Amino acid sequence: MVVLAKEELEQISLPFIQKPIPSSLIPVIDLSNPNSKSLIVAAAQELGFFKVINHGVSMEIMSALESEAMKFFALPQSEKEIRGLSPLGYGSKKIGSNGDLGWVEYLLLEIASKPKSQSSQFCSTLNEYIKAVRKLSVEILEMMAQGLHIEEKEIFSKLVMDEESDSVLRFNHYPPCPHLLGLSNRSLTGFGEHTDPQLISILRSNNTSGLEIALKDGSWVSVPSDPTSFFVNVGDSLQVLTNGRFRSVKHRVMVNSARSRLSMIYFGGPPPGQKLGPSPLLMEEREQSLYREFTWKEYKSCAFRTRLADNRLVQFER
């Protein structure tokens, strides 16, 4: 359980609840559809966000890892803090080191090029899931490249397949919030508004909604949950590589007063030394580069120094 002191709770925003966006307006892409490449590109350009079905990841693996994660979050607080020490580890309430707070507890795991030792059921299930979602991320990134008519379809996917790829898996647990009872038409921020700095994020959650995305006009809309599918976010790095053709989507999570939410997010990142900038294979004649070249290590360091809602990319614009 996430426990916040009264003064900490007061620092977490209580925005008005948004009306759920009709599910028909969120792109749902069937990966078995021959036209899926162009549909993915259109969604990445317009929203930077879409849902995928017929993704090839076993529901059994998805449910098994959710079950193992919930077992972890059900442990006593002291045991979670000990078990979650390495690598990266367990945390609650504080998001980063710059003052952001949320009604959330999380487990952040580094994804190594070699599978983790299968010393427990959790590790065994984790290895299977990581293998499956990494494969899915590669498939989607290659479909994006093909949809953009780039001859080298691995132009994006090779960055997450690299042995030095800086990818992570994050479990976010948002317990029910009793403080919301009696607050009409209000919700509590579980994870504040932000964009993801990596290339791509592959998210799967349980059947509790809470995820919201921002449209181009700045309005927020709720995303209906679907535990059988994955939701894909375009990250900052991919926005840079496509010279702004794809949109890194701003999103946040709001807490439910009655039901807990668990999300499992694979963040596909490039190697630390990878140089990021608009891809020459995509740039048209006389097209101006919107961003200067920088390394992933440089950008990640910038992300760690800023608040969640800050626009980090503005520092790298030309």
Q: How far is CA 107 from CA 110, 194, 240, in A?
A: 10, 18, 28
Nearest C-alpha neighbor of 243 from the set 300, 285, 287, 179: 287
Catalytic residue among 261, 286, 307, 312: 261
Nearest C-alpha neighbor of 269 from the set 246, 317, 235: 235
What is the C-alpha to C-alpha distance for residues 188 and 266, in angstroms, rounded to an integer? 24
User: Which tokens go with 52?
Assistant: 């995928």
User: Which tokens go with 235?
Assistant: 């990250």
CB 64 within 8 A of CB 125: yes
- 252 counts as catalytic: no
Q: Taking the mean position of all CA atoms in its chain, how far away is CA 15?
A: 22
Q: How far apart are the first and last CA of the chain?
A: 45
> What is the residue whose two structure tokens read 């390394």?
295
> What is the residue whose two structure tokens read 């891809």?
279
- 185: left (phi > 0), else alpha (psi -120 to 50), else beta? left
Nearest C-alpha neighbor of 99 from the set 179, 8, 180, 170: 8
CB 109 within 8 A of CB 88: yes
CA atoms within 13 A on the CB side of 17: 13
CB 267 within 8 A of CB 237: no
What amino acid is encoded at 127 in this protein?
N
Q: How many CB atoms lie within 10 A of CB 258?
A: 10
User: Which tokens go with 122?
Assistant: 């959790």
Strand partners, 136: none
Catalytic residues: 261
